[in-house]
């Protein structure tokens, strides 16, 4: 038996992402000024230019450097103070540059949702992964087996939530000739939720099957407490089921410590309350998987994060758009739509206006209702800034995002890989 080794080597990641600084920019990256074409990100950042002084075209997504640094520090301190670790969800941004910052702040691994996301971060030298799904893709398993066997420093844990899944994974790994077992957590689900075992009996049966497999290694219990929009008392009850599973399965776990992992970006405070403070004879490692804390937002997580409010996390991601039409006194149309900003968990939030609201989005337009107090400020040609709700689905619409200092100058150009 051994301890799990999530041990990120941020130096390798920093070295890998630094190559992006020498790749010339071009027309592929929407919103960026055309005068940057042919220049490298390193050269643009060295000049500390302001995108709109350089003729950026709208819309343009930007990151706030000070807010980003504040959020990194705030979440890292919170985790240390509560005795838990953080494997932030990389699907939020899919940006190795931002993951490097998270590793620098103390993250123990990266969480991913798919084997393709594993391969992306692996290409940048990342070694510690939490794959928050059961992996039954034959091609993905064969690639993973090869990667684990060839790279002893790579650590990955994924989920199992069915005996059939255990059997399928075991057969594929055996057929691939894998020599290293794949580490797994049995996933506890909730009624009406997403994946995961729906009963204690199912949890125990899947755990026994995983422990008996020669190609898998049972290391703990996993779950996702925000799988449904349930009230806190329901979340607590679900986390109580996870806690009970940890205690029941302690004798089956094939590691010197039990991994228990949960924690999205809305209820990580409840995770800490329910999944820490273990009996002295249980060595348990609690790992959160929150991802949206990094940029926070002005919508979903601005309302629901345990670290929302004064002194807490700050919104660091926004989109600038231009007023293109004022067809009616109370209506403005902007050059920002579903192709540019998230809308799945709330519409964009205007900054600097007291009586205005985005009411709808088309593919390339936003409908802004404008009250009397703001009508003189919202004219054709005006640039307006908008906060987002749910950063994940804004990030995936942008390949390059300028990171700006307090003076609006570019200090980095963040490349995403969706």
pLDDT 10s digit of each residue in the chain, 418 long? 345 567 677 888 999 999 999 999 999 999 999 999 999 999 999 999 999 999 999 899 999 999 999 999 999 999 999 999 999 999 999 999 999 999 999 999 999 999 999 999 999 999 999 999 999 999 999 999 999 999 999 999 999 999 999 999 999 999 999 999 999 999 999 988 899 999 999 999 999 999 999 999 999 999 999 877 678 899 999 999 999 999 999 999 999 999 999 989 999 999 999 999 999 999 999 999 999 999 999 999 999 999 999 999 999 999 999 999 999 999 999 999 999 999 999 999 999 999 999 999 999 999 999 999 999 999 999 999 999 999 999 999 999 999 999 999 999 999 999 9
| CATH number assigned to the domain covering 65-298 | 3.20.20.10
Length of the chain: 418
- Cβ atoms of residues 262 and 224 within 8 Å: yes
**What does residue 212 show for φ and ψ, rounded to 5 degrees?**
-85, -15
E strand or H helix that includes residue 214:
none
Q: Are strands 410-415 and 400-404 parallel, antiparallel or unpaired?
A: antiparallel
> Within 13 Å, how many C-alpha atoms sit on residue 130's CB side?
37
* Tokens encoding 144: 């993973």
Q: Classify domain 24-64+312-415 at the CATH class level.
A: mainly beta
Residues 6+ apart with CB under 8 A from 160: 134, 166, 169, 184, 185, 186, 187, 206, 209, 210, 216
Nearest to 167 by CA among 209, 199, 221: 209
* 181 φ/ψ sector (left φ>0, alpha ψ -120 to 50, else beta): beta
Segments making up each domain of the chain, as ranges: 24-64+312-415, 65-298
For residue 59, cis peptide bond before it (omega within 30 degrees of 0)? yes
Q: Are strands 383-387 and 349-350 parallel, antiparallel or unpaired?
A: antiparallel
**What does residue 341 show for φ and ψ, rounded to 5 degrees?**
-150, 150
Task: Say which residue the tokens 């055996």 belong to.
Answer: 174
Q: Model pTM?
A: 0.96
What count of other Cβ atoms lies within 10 Å of the Cβ of residue 370? 22
Angle at which helices 96-104 and 65-81 pack, to 10 degrees? 40
Cross-strand pairs, 368 = 332, 358
């Amino acid at each position: 038996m051994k301890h799990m080794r999530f041990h990120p080597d941020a130096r390798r990641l920093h070295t890998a992402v630094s190559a992006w600084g020498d790749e010339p920019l071009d027309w592929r990256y929407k919103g960026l000024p055309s005068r940057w074409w042919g220049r490298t990100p390193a050269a643009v950042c060295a000049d500390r230019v302001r995108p709109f002084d350089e003729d950026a075209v709208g819309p343009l997504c930007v990151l706030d450097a000070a807010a980003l640094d504040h959020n990194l520090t705030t979440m890292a301190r919170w985790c240390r103070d509560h005795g838990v670790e953080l494997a932030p969800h990389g699907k939020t941004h899919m940006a190795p540059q931002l993951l490097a910052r998270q590793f620098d702040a103390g993250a123990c691994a990266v969480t991913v949702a798919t084997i393709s996301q594993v391969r992306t971060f692996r290409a940048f030298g990342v070694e510690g992964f939490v794959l928050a799904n059961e992996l039954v893709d034959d091609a993905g398993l064969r690639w993973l087996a090869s990667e684990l066997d060839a790279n002893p420093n790579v650590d990955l844990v994924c989920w199992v939530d069915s005996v059939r899944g255990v059997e399928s994974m075991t057969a594929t790994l055996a057929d691939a000739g894998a020599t290293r077992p794949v580490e797994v957590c049995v996933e506890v689900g909730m009624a009406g939720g997403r994946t995961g075992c729906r009963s204690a009996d199912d949890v125990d049966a899947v755990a026994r099957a995983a422990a008996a497999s020669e190609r898998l290694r049972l290391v703990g219990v996993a779950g996702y407490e925000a799988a449904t929009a349930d009230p806190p008392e329901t979340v607590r009850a679900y986390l109580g089921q996870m806690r009970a599973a940890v205690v029941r399965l302690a004798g089956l776990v094939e590691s010197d410590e039990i991994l228990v992992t949960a924690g999205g970006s809305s209820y990580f405070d409840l995770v800490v309350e329910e999944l820490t403070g273990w009996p002295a004879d249980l060595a348990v490692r609690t790992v959160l998987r929150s991802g949206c804390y990094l940029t926070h937002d002005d919508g979903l997580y601005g309302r629901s994060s345990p670290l929302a409010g004064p002194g807490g996390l700050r919104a660091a991601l926004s989109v600038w758009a231009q007023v293109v039409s004022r067809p009616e006194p109370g209506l403005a149309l902007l050059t920002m739509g579903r192709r540019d900003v998230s809308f799945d968990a709330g519409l964009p939030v205007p900054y600097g206006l007291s009586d205005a609201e985005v009411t709808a989005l088309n593919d390339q337009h936003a409908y802004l209702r404008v009250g009397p107090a703001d009508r003189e400020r919202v004219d054709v040609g005006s640039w307006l800034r908008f906060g987002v709700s749910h950063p994940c689905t804004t990030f995936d619409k942008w390949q390059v995002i300028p990171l700006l200092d307090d003076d609006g100058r570019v200090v980095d150009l963040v490349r995403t890989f969706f």
